[in-house]
Amino acid sequence: MSRQVIAAAGTALLDERRQLKPEELADLAAVPDTSVPSLAALAHEVRLAWCGPEVEVEGILSAKTGGCPEDCHFCSQSAQFPTQVQATPFLDTDEVLRAAEETARLGASEFCLVLAIRGPDERTMTRLLELVPLVRDRVGINVAVSAGILSEDQARRFAEGGVHRYNHNLETARSHFGRIVTTHSWEERFDTCRLVREYGMELCCGVLLGMGESVEQRLELIGQLREVEPAEVPINFLNPRPGTPLADQRLVEPLEAIRWIALFRLGLPSVILRYAGGREVTLRDLQTMGMTSGINALIVGNYLTTLGRSPDEDLQMLDDLRMPIGVLSKVL
């Protein structure tokens, strides 16, 4: 049975070159664990056929850490929970430039400035609009920004100011969101994603799996991502942070993580699907398998509040897999 379901998905995606219907994805989500490697193999083939062999490498820098007024239950940067993260002010220009240079040296084509805020105030807008062209021109790297919920005017100014890609995560399905965040709505996130696209920036719209959502809700999330048409989808797995309401949540199991990496690829065949936070603790020895299950981009170095493995290990992994580092651009 699973063999037929996987073969039919292959025909749709590789021969007919069409997106899968929601019911086809639901059938794939139900294959037994023993079929996950076959699912992953198809996802890899689909990634090669729709996106090519290159892997994109990106560095992220937490330009303003902690002290966020929002209550996202997974986040150690929320000021509402007793976590270890200390609030720090905006990094100075030299620190940002140094981090961008280091990221470029690793071969990365994208550098993302991340701020733990609900949305940017005027001071933050001004600061970011100074930094973006400076980093791009001095370091020669594309600059992405992640600064929370935007108004229409702010989206326009970022687009005009040279922000190449804007990150704003949906995090989880609309039907699950109210259990994870109460200080802003899923719709506010969705609207910001829409504005980013409307003003011509690339949308990077990530998910965080492992927050108690059901299989149906993960499938719902894939459908909602299709609506916002992201260029890139970072896949994060919950790495439960002490002090947060999700501190005792169990980790996604490695094979389950591979299953969902493959399903996100099969549901979103043309996106840049990026390995992001939580992959080391979640996948353990299966990290390399993720690269042949549909992933085609990596965040290297440290994540915002947790340490990633060393960039050298990741670059070695890509070399061992004979996967070239390249710049990906969206083709829809």
Q: List the interface residues with ligand SF4, window 106-135 (CB under 6 A).
A: 116, 118
- Which stretch, 35-43, 68-76, 131-139, 270-278, contacts ligand SF4 (CB under 6 A)? 68-76
Selected from 27, 56, 70, 202, the binder of ligand SF4 by CB under 6 A is: 70
Tokens of 120: 């940017």
Chain center to CA of 119: 19
Distance CA 19, CA 88 (A): 44
Nearer to ligand SF4, 208 or 266 (CB): 208
Cβ contacts of 134-138, under 8 Å, gap ≥ 24: 134/93, 134/97, 135/96, 135/97, 135/100, 135/111, 136/162, 136/164, 138/97, 138/100
63 or 139: whose CB is closer to ligand SF4? Answer: 63
If one asks whether residue 192 binds ligand SF4 (CB under 6 A), the answer comes out as no
Does position 77 bind ligand SF4 by CB under 6 A? Answer: yes
Check residue 191 for interaction with ligand SF4 (CB under 6 A).
no
What is the closest distance, in whole angstroms, from the C-beta atom of residue 149 to ligand SF4 in the complex?
Answer: 8
Residue number with CB closer to ligand SF4 (72 or 258):
72
Residue among 168, 169, 172, 171 nearest 150 (CA): 168
Report the alpha-carbon distance of residue 114 to residue 93 in Å, rounded.
14
Instruction: Based on the shown chain and the rule CB under 6 A, indicate whether residue 147 belongs to the binding site for ligand SF4.
Output: no
Does 75 bind ligand SF4 (CB under 6 A)? Our answer is yes
CB 311 within 8 A of CB 99: no
Please give the residue ranges that form the binding site for ligand SF4 (CB under 6 A). 68, 70, 72, 75, 77-78, 116, 118, 148
